[in-house]
Amino acid sequence: MELSAGQRLQYLDLIRGIAVLGLVLMNVTHMGMFELGYVQHVPPLLTDQVVTVLNALLFDGRFRSLFCLLFGIGLYLQYQSYQRQQLDPRQILKTRLNWLLCFGFIHCVFIWPGDILIFYALCGFVLLRYLDTSHQVLLRKGIWWFVLGIGIFLGEVALSAHFSEPVLRSSNDFTESYQTLMEPYWQYAGFNFAIALIYVFTFPLLSMFYLTGVMMIGLALFKSGKLQSGFETQQTRVLWSVTVLVSLIEVVTFLLVPQYSEYFVGVPGAIAGLTMALLIWHYVIVLKLAERSTFLIQALKRSGTLAFTLYIGQSIILVTLLRFLYPQWHLYFSLANYLALAILIIALQLVFAFAYKSRFKQGPLESLWRRLVARRIDKLNKSLADKIDQARGSHSA
């Protein structure tokens, strides 16, 4: 599918808005004590169990998968756009990805070590090789990469469960992790820098296959037209069946062996996350949600155009609150408290996005990224013009 110059797909903005705001729900518990996340109270709280089940059924892995789908498709649409402008799309996209990698490092080191931009940039470099691949080949490769990625996740789960013990609020691990919140900022940044390096060096083994596999699957479905028209009834039933079954496995694991669910949760979340993300995409299309003019739909679409700014903004706000201003919240907050905080941030960002886009065309970080890439485009345009002039000069001679 090709777009005319300047044309936007409104449903992509809507889905991107859902994805970026949904990330708050999953990241909020890790914004303070990143290495531990949320540690269960002893005895377990009923509200914690309710929120955990809710996460397993509705949230876990869904928004990460949506973003992976969007990222791969966005890269492809930009590739087409630069081709229409008779530019070298791979050179420009490599520039975009290099800057995204830089932004990711800055975010990871100086703001929050749970950054995902580093991974997306690295996946983008891999995906560049397959943008011209047919949707049939791309889908097969994406499924194989996804399955391999899930296998790697299972290996990580087995190792973690074997070599580590679940952390309790009464344990030394929790106390030591909480005390790190009082350390000087430079120590925090130093720890984050080490995390960023680990991300890069372990990416080919631990993260590449799963994340890039999801991107390949999404791009293949987009090229085939499935993500523009929606899935057939039978395909939708299969997606629902997988989503419900895998989510219930996650719920049952939590209820029966809660001490080990923290290790296992990523695997069903990765599988049901992808199938549920495809269902969200499907219903956005078939219900024509992007065409509705309600405040919520318009605010979500505007949030989608500010996804970069909102994502970094979430980290700045929540790290400031949970690490620097009110670290004591970690001592008594339940999952319900974190959920309420996440919902508050989502509401504020919806209002911000609606108001901001009423006055400005681009978000501050989106504009900065675009200007940085524009320098590369200007150089390519100048180089192309010089070649044309030389060709004309040679022809005249």
- Residues 121-126: what's their mean pLDDT? 97
- Residues 36-62: what's their mean pLDDT? 90
Task: Give the residue among 279, 271, 280, 234 at the shortest CA–CA distance from 249.
Answer: 271
- Cβ atoms 336, 48 nearer than 8 A: yes
- Residues 213-236: what's their mean pLDDT? 97
CA angle (141, 146, 151) in 5-degree steps: 125
- In which band, very low, low, confident or very high, does the pLDDT at 277 lie, cut at 50, 70 and 90? very high
Residue 390 has pLDDT above 80, yes or no: no
Q: Measured between alpha carbons, how far is 99 from 322 in angstroms, rounded to an integer?
A: 28
- Cβ atoms 157, 263 nearer than 8 A: yes
Tens digits of residue pLDDT in 4-22: 444 578 999 999 999 999 9
Helix residue ranges per DSSP H, the chain:
10-27, 46-54, 62-84, 89-110, 117-127, 135-163, 172-179, 185-202, 208-224, 226-229, 233-256, 258-264, 266-286, 295-305, 307-319, 329-332, 335-359, 364-396
Residue 196, CA distances (Å) to 34, 106, 129, 140, 221 in order: 13, 9, 25, 31, 32
Structure pTM? 0.93
Q: Measured between alpha carbons, how far is 368 from 244 in angstroms, rounded to an integer?
A: 41
pLDDT score, position 3? 45
Most confident of 40-44, 166-170, 285-289: 285-289
Residue 386 has pLDDT above 80, yes or no: no
Q: Which residues contact 5 (CB under 8 A, 6 or more apart)?
A: 81, 84, 85
Around Cβ 6, how many Cβ atoms within 10 Å?
A: 6
- Residues 76-85: what's their mean pLDDT? 93
Q: Which residues contact 78 (CB under 8 A, 6 or more apart)?
A: 89, 92, 93, 96
pLDDT score, position 385? 64
Q: Measured between alpha carbons, how far is 195 from 119 in angstroms, rounded to an integer?
A: 12
pLDDT score, position 6? 43
